[in-house]
Amino acid sequence: MNHLLESKRALVTGGSRGIGAAIAKRLAREGAHVALTYVSKPNQANDTVKAAQAFGVNALAIEADSADAKAVVAAVERTVAELGGIDILVNNAGIGVIAPIDDYRLEDFDRTLAVNLRAVFVATQAAVKHMKTGGRVITIGSCNADRMPFGGGAVYAMSKAALVGLVKGLARDLGPRGITVNNVQPGPIDTDMNPADSDFAEMLRKQVMALPRYGTTDEIAAMVAYLAGPEAGFVTGASLMIDGGFTA
């Protein structure tokens, strides 16, 4: 283990399962103390905390709905209080409601923007008050910001496309303070929400992907760990695709 993040303090929103859990564990493996937020299933959150602690770091789970701006700020403040600061913020929490335009509910529209976009701004605004030079803000976007090859995904795609502009602007705001801001855009990843053995996955592999397989959560976590580390100090304002050729 390289321990490139030795003694860094990180917060991963939506970190109890899937991509978020893989990120939390990878940052811990690299030596970072980790806090993660979750909305439901505290057992999964606690399992991820225990897996992180196995690497000899401090870890904690915080119940916080990313649609609630006050809860997001409180999660940042608790991270700072319990870990002694914050050096890395990973805005991973996200939702996707897929439905045709004629059936799309306004409440789903509002919640999608609240979780996928507003929470990123709110968490970043709260976290950078405590960050010093070398701080890292990393957002988990989606390849659907660049390509939405099926119907019903307009609102989700919009929310992820908006992150690209937000990240570019925040990189300008925070660059003079030595804080980098970047966006990771995963393609189809094997999770319980999007399993690689589904009929939908089979269609993507045959018709959409350049590499005929789903990605793994560990592959996304590796990209995040690179951006969080010292070797990525000159990378900012970037949206980095890791999609198996979904957008090729």
Active site residues: 156
Residues 38/11, Cβ–Cβ less than 8 Å: no
Residues 140/120, Cβ–Cβ less than 8 Å: no
Sheet holding 33-38, edge to edge: 59-63, 33-38, 9-12, 88-91, 136-140, 180-186, 239-242
Nearest-10 Cα torsion for 136, 183, 16, 10:
0
Q: In angstroms, rounded to a whole number, what is the distance separating the alpha carbons of residues 182 and 170?
A: 9
Residues 127/137, Cβ–Cβ less than 8 Å: yes
211-247 core/surface letters (b: 16 or more CB in 10 A; e: else) = eeebbebebbbebbbbbbbeebeeebbbbbbbbbebb
Instruction: Give the pair of three-digit tokens for residue 58.
Output: 């401090």
Longest Cα pair distance anywhere in the chain, in angstroms? 51
Q: In angstroms, rounded to a whole number, what is the distance separating the alpha carbons of residues 190 and 201?
A: 9
